[in-house]
Amino acid sequence: MSNAVMLQAFEWNLPNDGNHYKWLADSTPEFKELGLAAIWLPPFCKATSNSDVGYGIYDLFDLGEFDQKGSVRTKYGTKEELQHAIKTLQAAGLQVYADVVLNHKAGADKAEVFAAVPQNPENRLEQISEMRDIKAWTYFDFRGRQGKYSDFVWNFNHFTGVDYDEFTGEHGIFRIVGDNKYWAEGVSSERGNYDYLMFADIDHEHPDVQREIKDWLNWMIQETEVDGLRFDAIKHIEDKFIADVVSQLYETWAEKNLFLFGEYWAFDPGATNHFLEQTEYELHLFDVVLHFNMQNASLGGSDYDLRTIFDNTLVQQHPDKAVTFVDNHDSQRGQSLESWVDEWFRPHAHAIILLRKDGYPCIFFGDLYGIGGQEAWPNSYDTVAEMIRLRHTYAWGEEVDLPTDDHEILAWSRSGDEEHPGGLLAILNSGGDKEMHFTVAQGHPGQSFRDAMLHSDQIVELDDERSAVFPIKAGSVSVWVPTE
């Protein structure tokens, strides 16, 4: 996995034409030329409709094979097209990761009547009125599939909460009442208890549910032959259940050496660290704190101290568990977790995730191919592609953060290694034009360096102490590499 780069191969506003799997297969040569190592697929199970991105999950066992929810295909294509895309990508040496949605189910086949307690949406531990019977959509029998692959039928006993009472037309948070049933304990403490997120919330403590999910995971891996899994919304799922699932996957599929990672969306490093402890550090996580630090830097401009950008980040505290990213489908503009890194800072952010030693960088679809059918922003594709090339060519060996008294500057050097000599010096600037003196870990006296990002055409030569004065353009990222 050394110096590997992952692509999140989707965004929220992809067209609903069923052609995405075909596009992925056709784009395989381009992915290889870019230097990518892995492709993270969109959720590929049948959702509430073929316009659903895939997180409104309906039937786990329908990968685009059965006529359900208005079509056979999902938003992205059919099961056969999915399998073909995966095989095409893998034949080219790319790993493929599935997006696994286990927190909830949506689009039930029938409504049921059961007892529930209304809870305060801002504090789900606070009951706001008496228990009563409600009517909600919790019965799933998947009539279009007719029991193929699994004859399990879901009902209200398999869920902990819903958000709508059809009897009254009331929207809210309703905790389902039952023997030994309550919100999960090992979840985020936000809003008192953040077990409930959306739709019909799955009860992961129910033994039948546990069995069904584990059976599906094994079936899905066998059917698709994916190389890894990305777990969605895990701060809303019992951490002990996640730990159990991950342990069994590693054991059952030991020969595949699965890469398992998850989304724990929290700005609090304490919460993330607690989750890692509870799951015995078996799962890699997205570095959400780094993402927010980069967004704050992009909004703060020259007032932000770039030297603090790694404070409290996962890549700083647990570098071997960090999946680093700039943005994703949730943080993109218009989404519920919108926290977009401003355009001027995106080259800086990509340098941070691509040119440093630690973290497994994940590139967002939108930075290469645009969002919502619009063209990619100027130079996004070329800039990211060049930084991936620099990562593979020069970003090796020892990493040294270079000290500076200037809060507008973040700089580090890489020494290179025997197979990748030369190293690099990366300089990120949030302020105006300037010159700075640096001593670097790579190279030798008299060696000359050029800016691979072309912000300067000046050739800089190291003195006897491997030092030089480097020109720095306003608001830019420069990556200095050997001229020869």
How would DSSP label each residue in 188-220? --TTS-----SSEEE-TTSHHHHHHHHHHHHHH
Q: Where are the alpha helices (DSSP H) in 225-267?
A: 239-252
pLDDT in tens, 73-94: 999 999 999 999 999 999 999 9
Same domain, 273 and 229: yes
Same domain, 331 and 442: no
pLDDT at 347 over 50: yes
Same domain, 449 and 337: no
The answer to the question of residue 454 being in a domain is yes
What confidence tier does 280 reach under pLDDT thresholds 50, 70, 90?
A: very high
Domain holding 449, by residue range, is 399-482
Same domain, 278 and 325: yes
Among 201, 208, 210, CA closest to 182: 201
The answer to the question of residue 1 being in a domain is no
Q: Which of 15-24, 136-145, 370-379 has the lowest mean pLDDT?
A: 370-379
Say which residue, 421 or 246, is predicted with more confidence. Answer: 246
Distance, CA of 253 to CA of 205 (rounded, Å): 24
Strand, helix or coil for residue 359: coil
pLDDT at 376 over 50: no
Among 375, 432, 427, 384, CA closest to 404: 427
What does the pLDDT read at residue 313? 98
Same domain, 53 and 165: no
Same domain, 57 and 163: no
Strand, helix or coil for residue 61: coil
Which residues fall within 8 angstroms of residue 117, CB to CB, at 6 or more apart? 127, 129, 130, 131, 174, 175, 177
Strand, helix or coil for residue 91: helix
Domain boundary among 370, 393, 416: 393
On whether the CB atoms of residues 163 and 199 are closer than 8 A, the answer is yes
What confidence tier does 379 reach under pLDDT thresholds 50, 70, 90?
A: low
Distance, CA of 290 to CA of 338 (rounded, Å): 15
- The full length of the chain comes to 484
Domain boundary among 393, 421, 453: 393
**Interaxial angle between packed helices 288-300 and 269-278, expressed in degrees from 0 to 180 and rounded to the nearest 10:** 160
What confidence tier does 249 reach under pLDDT thresholds 50, 70, 90?
A: very high
The answer to the question of residue 85 being in a domain is yes
Same domain, 409 and 302: no
Same domain, 341 and 474: no
Positions annotated as catalytic residues are 232, 263
Determine how many CB atoms are found less than 10 A away from the CB of residue 52.
Answer: 19
Q: Which of 148-162, 285-299, 442-456 has the lowest mean pLDDT?
A: 442-456
Given its phi and psi angles, is residue 35 left (phi above 0), alpha (psi -120 to 50 degrees) or beta? left
pLDDT at 373 over 80: no
- Split into its structural domains, the chain has a count of 3
pLDDT at 378 over 70: no
Residue 363 tokens read as 């590139």
On whether the CB atoms of residues 407 and 305 are closer than 8 A, the answer is yes
Which residues fall within 8 angstroms of residue 388, CB to CB, at 6 or more apart? 5, 34, 35, 36, 354, 363
Strand, helix or coil for residue 342: coil
The answer to the question of residue 238 being in a domain is yes
Same domain, 37 and 65: yes
Strand partners, 38: 6, 95
Q: Which of 132-136, 277-281, 333-337, 398-402 has the lowest mean pLDDT?
A: 333-337
What does the pLDDT read at residue 2? 83
Q: Where are the beta strands (DSSP E) in 128-191?
A: 132-139, 159-165, 170-176
Among 170, 181, 169, 173, CA closest to 199: 173
DSSP secondary-structure letter at 165?
E
CATH number (domain holding residue 144) = 2.40.30.140
pLDDT at 466 over 70: yes
Among 119, 131, 20, 14, CA closest to 374: 14
What does the pLDDT read at residue 444? 85
Same domain, 41 and 96: yes
Same domain, 382 and 238: yes
Same domain, 39 and 113: no
Q: What's the rounded mean pLDDT across residues 36-60?
A: 98
**Interaxial angle between packed helices 346-354 and 380-393, expressed in degrees from 0 to 180 and rounded to the nearest 10:** 20
What does the pLDDT read at residue 1? 56
CATH number (domain holding residue 466) = 2.60.40.1180
Given its phi and psi angles, is residue 373 left (phi above 0), alpha (psi -120 to 50 degrees) or beta? left
The answer to the question of residue 151 being in a domain is yes
The answer to the question of residue 250 being in a domain is yes
CA distances from 328 to 27, 153, 288, 335, 347 (A): 20, 34, 11, 10, 16
The answer to the question of residue 310 being in a domain is yes
Tell me the average pLDDT of the chain: 96
pLDDT in tens, 142-156: 999 999 999 999 999
Counting residues of the chain whose pLDDT is more than 90, the rounded percentage is 93
* Residue 1 burial (C-beta neighbours within 10 Å; 0-12, 13-18, 19+): exposed
Distance, CA of 379 to CA of 475 (rounded, Å): 15
Domain boundary among 206, 235, 261: 206
Counting residues of the chain whose pLDDT is more than 70, the rounded percentage is 98
Residue 322 tokens read as 């960090």
Distance, CA of 22 to CA of 85 (rounded, Å): 7
Element (H, E) at 45: none
Distance, CA of 211 to CA of 364 (rounded, Å): 34
pLDDT in tens, 17-47: 999 999 999 999 999 999 999 999 999 999 9
Distance, CA of 202 to CA of 100 (rounded, Å): 14
